[in-house]
Chains A and B, each alone.
Chain A
Amino acid sequence: MRNTRTAAFYVGKGGVGKTTSAAHMGVAAAREHGLDVVLIDLSGTQNDLATQFGLGDSIEDPDAPISAVFGDDWDFIAENIPDIVDRMVYETAEGPDLIPSDSGLSGADNNLASAPVEERYLKLAEFVETHLTDRYDLVIFDLPGKEDNISLNGIFAAEHIVTPLCPGKFERRQLENLREDLESIRGELADVLETHDVYPHLAMVIPTMITGQTKQSADFVEEIEDAYPEAAAEPVAKSQNISILQGQGKTLFAASDDELYATGKRARDAYRTNTETLLEAISHD
């Protein structure tokens, strides 16, 4: 059994660089730390993670959907389809494996509401424990941009929450609420969490889309560092390279230095540093 580490990229708002950050840090962990990494996309039906790796078309209709994990029949399915995980997983060209999202996740979220509270949020954690810990060193979840039963499953399974934030998308009050949200989840579900020894907490806050020259960016980074001195990560520069490469189904790590602007190199270096910091923070040692 490996000492599998887990992290969930979660923030209750879209367009802040959540999927981009999850992809880049997954690649950095695989390429530069030699880890077996799987990225699990639970963020919805757009399958942005698959697009990030140029796999969009081939996994439009996944053979074995991750949504099955949340259903009442999962144990029966897993028992009778021995290669179920092999069928869920897709290889990317950059190192990490990928389990894509599928169209059944919204129904799974709905169904989970009728599951007993002591089981409702632990389906994913059990799946990771039973099926992924003997295969992977690092499991990364890309969670929905809202608090629903799927994202709570991811929060419970990962315990370590990584939150990317970008200037202009977040108001000060929401920034302050981030930690309070996790505290309130811990408070409301204290019994379940204590029984299963789970402690969801904010492991890292990443300022993204930072422009070197603007006061807004500088103020934003400072604000994050003040609010989260122990979790604030290296700011990631805003770079056209990111979106251009995404269009080609690649991360910054798949590009050579010649292909990158200075901003692209800075963003890549920040993701590299942040991956190292995160791996240390979520280490079992």
Chain B
Amino acid sequence: MTNDEEAAEELLQESKGKHRTNTEAAPSQDGEEQNRTEAIKNALLAIEAGDSPENINVRDARLKALLVGLEEAGELSEIAGTLGEVLDTDTDTSDVTQSDVARLLMRVGLQETLPEVYDDATEARRQAVLEQTDDF
């Protein structure tokens, strides 16, 4: 028997010993979506544990100018309210900052153009909360 034949025989016999409990758990649905949800959940947990920063830095001169312009024109609150309605969430429209509007815009953009990513993020949030609850 050659080395390859011996190895093949060994792998063949190993197949019988593989059970649900000693094999790798794996995503049951589309792998990409599952990985994305998992990755977002892990990032959330890291942020909440203080192991990762929670701010986003974006360099975009025109967008910055737009946000400053909205603030100068006193329109931040109104826009925040409109975006909140699109997202179907209660948005506090007092003391709205440029950061609040940028945040809401990003969420609306995601929900409108990439709903599956938005759903995965929502699911990741749910899983993260559940996982933290389990910790107690």
Contact A110 B12 (CB under 8 A): no
A132 interfacial by beta-carbon distance below 8 Å:
no
Interface bits A69-104 vs B (CB < 8 Å: 1, else 0)? 001010011011100100000000000000000111
CA distance A202 to B46 in the complex (A): 49
With a CB–CB cut-off of 8 A, which chain A residues contact B26? 110-111, 113-114
A227 interfacial by beta-carbon distance below 8 Å:
no
Interface bits A51-75 vs B (CB < 8 Å: 1, else 0)? 0000000000110110110010100
| Nearest CB on B from A128, distance (A) | 18
- By size class, the interface of chain B is 20 to 34
| Nearest CB on B from A231, distance (A) | 30
Contact B31 A81 (CB under 8 A): no
Task: Return the chain A residue nearest B30 by Cβ.
Answer: A117
- By size class, the interface of chain A is 20 to 34
CA distance A108 to B19 in the complex (A): 7
With a CB–CB cut-off of 8 A, which chain A residues contact B18? 67, 71, 104, 106-108, 110-111
Task: Return the chain B residue nearest A73 by Cβ.
Answer: B11
CA distance A107 to B15 in the complex (A): 8
A116 interfacial by beta-carbon distance below 8 Å:
yes
| Nearest CB on B from A82, distance (A) | 9
CA distance A151 to B2 in the complex (A): 35
Contact A76 B19 (CB under 8 A): no
A109 interfacial by beta-carbon distance below 8 Å:
yes
User: A107's contact among B4, B11, B23, B30, by CB below 8 Å, is which?
Assistant: B23
Contact A106 B19 (CB under 8 A): yes
| Nearest CB on A from B122, distance (A) | 22
| Nearest CB on B from A121, distance (A) | 13
CA distance A127 to B5 in the complex (A): 19
CA distance A65 to B17 in the complex (A): 10
